[in-house]
Structure 1
Amino acid sequence: MHNARVLPHYLVSRYNGWRATTFAENRAWYSRLADEGQRPRAMVISCCDSRVHVTSIFGADTGEFFIHRNIANLVPPYTPDGNQHGTSATVEYAVLALKVAHLIVMGHTKCGGVAGCHAMCSGKAPDLEEDSSFIGRWMDILRPGYERISDLPEPDQVPALEREAVMISLENLMTFPFVREAVETGHLTLHGLIHDIGDGTLLQFDGPAGRFVPV
């Protein structure tokens, strides 16, 4: 693969700094993780957005979170059709192999993927309607959410769709038989969050109340 190149200097410098400090000071912990394997308490499904830094938000240590990132923190419905499903495979591994106790879907404000879905569904992004658009076909997962918010005033639609991205994902998680069984037997708890990247606040979905509330 002749197109691959060595890392840029700034990344090499940061790596050397990490290994000389954080790694060196916690060498026994890293050795234990390597020897005994991972036992994360929670899985987090979050957006690929570089402004969303899950481990920093929760002050998580290495080995604490099993993290999967994709565009707009979406989970597709359970579809064992023989195709490749990266998100579904990650959920399966977290629930059945790692037996995480918590599965968190964390959306965020100013999400480009959600904005793209809104533009596509409202007819303003015909390029995303093309069969060749990987982003468009991924954002099809969120189309049912758009139908729920399309009657809102225009300025309120994208923020509402950001919340729908979390809700659709939680609903789709419950279509996975092994997730539903773990939830119903009390071995797994689902959580939905919205992170405001501007002011740092978190909203969490309160199931009994049926709404998002401050953390």
Structure 2
Amino acid sequence: MDIARPLPTYLVQRYHGWKATTYSENRTWYRRLATEGQRPRAMVISCCDSRVHVTSIFGADQGEFFIHRNIANLVPPYEPDGDHHGTSAAVEYAVTVLKVAHLIILGHSQCGGVQGCIDMCEGHAPQLEAKDSFVGRWMDILKPKYENVSQMSDSTEKARAFEKHAVRASLENLMTFPFISSAVQDGSLSLHGLWTDIGEGGLEFLDPATDQFVKV
């Protein structure tokens, strides 16, 4: 395949540094993961944003989280229509095969995908309205929630509120999956909504009693 190129030098150097330190110091653990397979306790659905680092936030080790990332940490509704559904496939595998006990939606501040949805809803992003925009059609998942923030005048507060509605939308859509609804009802699976402030390192969770995000 002549389109593939060698890794950039800085990545090669970082790999060798990891192999000589982290891997070398934990070789037994890595080999155990390889031979015994994965048994993650939780699945985390987070944004693709490079500033959101799930394992760092929770101090997680390899094998602890089953992680899926997409634009704006969204989960589409249950639609077994034969089309490609990467997020739905990841959710199905985590719940029905890996039997994770917790499924976490992690939203974050300054989310470009959420801001793009706001711009689209307000008529400022014609490029996202185009039928061939993968990002725009993905953000259609969130558009119904815009009415909850449409009257907010402060752009920063509107974006932050909408980021949290993205978490709510994903949780609601998760419950449209029969195998998730069944697992939640029998107590084998719990759903969690989180939002993190990148700049402040803050973490909030969606309190089911009030439907509000509160500090962890």
Q: Normalized against structure 2, the TM-score is what?
A: 0.98
Specify the SS of the correspondent of 1:193. strand
Residues 89-104 of structure 1 mapped to structure 2, 5 A cutoff? 89-104=89-104
Residue ranges of structure 1 left out of the alignment (5+ in a row) = none
The alignment status of 1:5 with 2:5, answered yes or no, reads yes
Report the Cα offset of residue 153 of structure 1.
2.1
1:160-214: CA deviations, max 9, x gaps? 1100110000000000000000001000010000100000000100111211100
| Correspondence for 2:183 | 182
Residues 64-103 of structure 1 mapped to structure 2, 5 A cutoff? 64-103=64-103
1:43-77: CA deviations, max 9, x gaps? 00000000000000000000000000000000000
Report the Cα offset of residue 4 of structure 1.
0.9
Specify the SS of the correspondent of 1:43. strand
1:66-115: CA deviations, max 9, x gaps? 00000000000000000010000000000000000000000000000000
Q: Aligned equivalents of 2:22 and 2:118: distance in 1? A: 42
| Correspondence for 1:31 | 31
Q: Which stretch of the first structure deviates more once superposed, 149-158 or 4-13?
A: 149-158
| Correspondence for 2:205 | 204
| Correspondence for 2:131 | 131
Specify the SS of the correspondent of 2:160. helix
Specify the SS of the correspondent of 2:120. helix
| Correspondence for 2:51 | 51
Report the Cα offset of residue 157 of structure 1.
1.8
**CA root-mean-square deviation:** 0.7
1:3-32: CA deviations, max 9, x gaps? 210101100000001011111111111111
| Correspondence for 1:146 | 146
The count of aligned residue pairs is: 215
* Structure 2 counterpart of 1:158, one-letter code: A
| Correspondence for 2:165 | 164
Specify the SS of the correspondent of 2:141. helix
1:146-169: CA deviations, max 9, x gaps? 122112224232111100110000
Residue ranges of structure 2 left out of the alignment (5+ in a row) = none
Q: Aligned equivalents of 1:142 and 1:71: distance in 2? A: 11
Q: Aligned equivalents of 1:61 and 1:2: distance in 2? A: 36
Specify the SS of the correspondent of 1:141. coil
* Structure 2 counterpart of 1:160, one-letter code: A
Q: Normalized against structure 1, the TM-score is what?
A: 0.98
Q: Aligned equivalents of 1:177 and 1:208: distance in 2? A: 24
* Structure 1 counterpart of 2:77, one-letter code: P
The alignment status of 1:195 with 2:202, answered yes or no, reads no
